[in-house]
């Protein structure tokens, strides 16, 4: 009986995690879960989470060769972002079809999820390689500008993380951790 309960709980966990993966596979979805670290290459957020990359572009004052590499990286980012969205949509369609099945093919769903993750991982790697090509073509002053922008973003993310951790800590402090203490017995005035 215990093995049956464990198997049922495992199946439910796998199915629900795969449904969550459908959401995570969406490039437009917010970054959550173990793959959030890879979210940094998404769309207009620029490489390594720099924010609006166009602002940095203007500050770099690129020469013609650097501009060509930049435009190639922008195009690669756009194409790969669109491909990741398409992969996510196909996976969501598979999940939607699975909802109508009486018995889920969890192994098939897992294989499909892994295929989407592998494809998206390759696309992110291609995008990152394109941006590394841009970075490697910069002079030291330009690299310093990019490095400072990345470090500023890290500091901003750390401040946000610290603030979120503080709010979580305050929420937990406000919750009762133990049963309230019983009221003290009134003093009777008798000594023992």
pTM: 0.62
The 8-class DSSP code of residue 180 comes to P
pLDDT at 61: 93
Please give the structure tokens belonging to residue 93. Answer: 């369609």
pLDDT at 171: 84
C-alpha neighbours within 13 Å on the C-beta side of residue 38: 20
What's the CA gap between 92 and 59, in Å, rounded?
40
If you write DSSP's letter for every residue of 59-77 in order, what string do you get?
A: HH---HHHHHHHHHHHHHH
pLDDT means per 10 residues, the chain with 192 residues, are: 52 43 39 38 55 81 96 94 95 90 92 94 94 94 92 91 92 62 56 48
């Amino acid at each position: 009986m215990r093995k049956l309960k464990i198997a049922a709980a495992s199946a439910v966990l796998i199915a629900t995690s795969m449904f969550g993966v459908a959401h995570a596979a969406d490039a437009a979805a917010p970054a959550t879960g173990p793959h959030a670290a890879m979210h940094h290459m998404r769309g207009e957020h620029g490489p390594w989470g720099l924010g609006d990359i166009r602002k940095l572009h203007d500050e770099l004052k690129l020469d013609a060769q650097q501009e060509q590499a930049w435009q190639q990286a922008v195009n690669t980012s756009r194409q790969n972002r669109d491909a990741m969205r398409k992969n996510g949509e196909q996976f969501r369609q598979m999940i939607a079809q699975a909802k109508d099945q009486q018995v889920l093919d969890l192994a098939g769903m897992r294989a499909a999820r892994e295929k989407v993750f592998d494809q998206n991982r390759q696309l992110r790697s291609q995008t990152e390689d394109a941006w590394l090509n841009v970075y490697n073509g910069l002079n030291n002053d330009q690299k310093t500008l990019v490095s400072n922008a990345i470090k500023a973003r890290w500091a901003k993310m750390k401040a946000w993380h610290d603030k979120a951790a503080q709010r979580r800590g305050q929420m937990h402090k406000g919750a009762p951790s133990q049963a309230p203490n019983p009221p003290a017995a009134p003093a009777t005035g008798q000594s023992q």
